[in-house]
Amino acid sequence: MISREAVEAQTEALAALEAQLADPAVTGNRQRYREVLREHTRLTRIASAAKAFFGGRDELEAAREMAADPELAEMAQEEIARLEAALPQAEEQLMRALLPADPLDDRNAMVEIRAGTGGEEAALFAGDLFRMYLRWCEGNGYNVSVMDASPSELGGYKEIVFTVSEGEQPYGRLRFESGGHRVQRVPATEAQGRIHTSAATVIVLPEADEEDDLVIPESELRIDIFCAGGHGGQGVNTTYSAIRITHLPTGLVAQCQDERSQHRNKEKALAVLKSRILDARRSAEEAKAGTLRLTLRGSGDRSQRIRTYNFPQNRLTDHRIGLTLYALDRVMEGDLGEILDALAAADLQQRLEQTGREA
Q: Which of 60, 83, 98 is the last residue of a domain?
A: 98
* Dist. CA 134–CA 268, nearest whole Å: 19
Q: In the prediction, which pLDDT does 251 show?
A: 92
Amino acid at 269: A
Is 212 in the same domain as 293? yes
Which domain CATH number covers 238?
3.30.70.1660
Is 91 in the same domain as 108? no
Rounded to the nearest 5°, which phi and psi values hold at 223? Answer: -110, 120
Reported as a pLDDT band with limits 50, 70 and 90, residue 7 is confident
> Are β-strands 323-325 and 315-318 bridged in parallel, bridged antiparallel, or unpaired?
antiparallel
Is 79 in the same domain as 179? no
Q: Which of 98, 120, 145 is the last residue of a domain?
A: 98
Reported as a pLDDT band with limits 50, 70 and 90, residue 299 is very low
Number of other CB atoms surrounding residue 231 within 10 Å: 11
Residue 185 Rama label (left phi>0; alpha psi -120 to 50; beta): beta
Q: Identify the DSSP state of 175.
A: G
Number of structural domains (the chain) is 2
Is 17 in the same domain as 64? yes
CA nearest 165: which of 223, 206, 121? 206
Rounded to the nearest 5°, which phi and psi values hold at 296? Answer: -95, -35
Is 147 in the same domain as 290? yes
Strand order in the sheet with 242-247: 221-226, 242-247, 252-256
CB 110 within 8 A of CB 146: no
Q: Which of 40, 63, 98 is the last residue of a domain?
A: 98
* Dist. CA 219–CA 196, nearest whole Å: 47
CA dihedral defined by 271, 333, 129, 182, rounded to 10 degrees? 140
- pLDDT tens-digit map of 56-103: 999 999 999 999 998 899 999 999 999 999 999 898 888 888 887 677
Is 159 in the same domain as 144? yes
Helix (H) or strand (E) holding 247: strand 242-247
Residue 310 Rama label (left phi>0; alpha psi -120 to 50; beta): beta
Q: In the prediction, which pLDDT does 317 show?
A: 97
* Dist. CA 329–CA 316, nearest whole Å: 9
Q: In the prediction, which pLDDT does 103 show?
A: 76
CB 232 within 8 A of CB 257: no
222 beta partners: 246
Residues present in the chain in total: 359
Is 187 in the same domain as 330? yes
* Dist. CA 186–CA 197, nearest whole Å: 9
pTM here?
0.75
CA nearest 174: which of 324, 346, 297? 297
> pLDDT > 70: what percent of the chain?
88
Is 219 in the same domain as 241? yes
Is 91 in the same domain as 217? no
Is 148 in the same domain as 206? yes
- pLDDT tens-digit map of 138-148: 999 999 999 88
Helix (H) or strand (E) holding 273: helix 262-289
Domain carrying residue 66? 4-98
- Give the N- to C-terminal CA distance of the chain in Å, as an integer: 11
Is 127 in the same domain as 232? yes
* Dist. CA 254–CA 159, nearest whole Å: 12
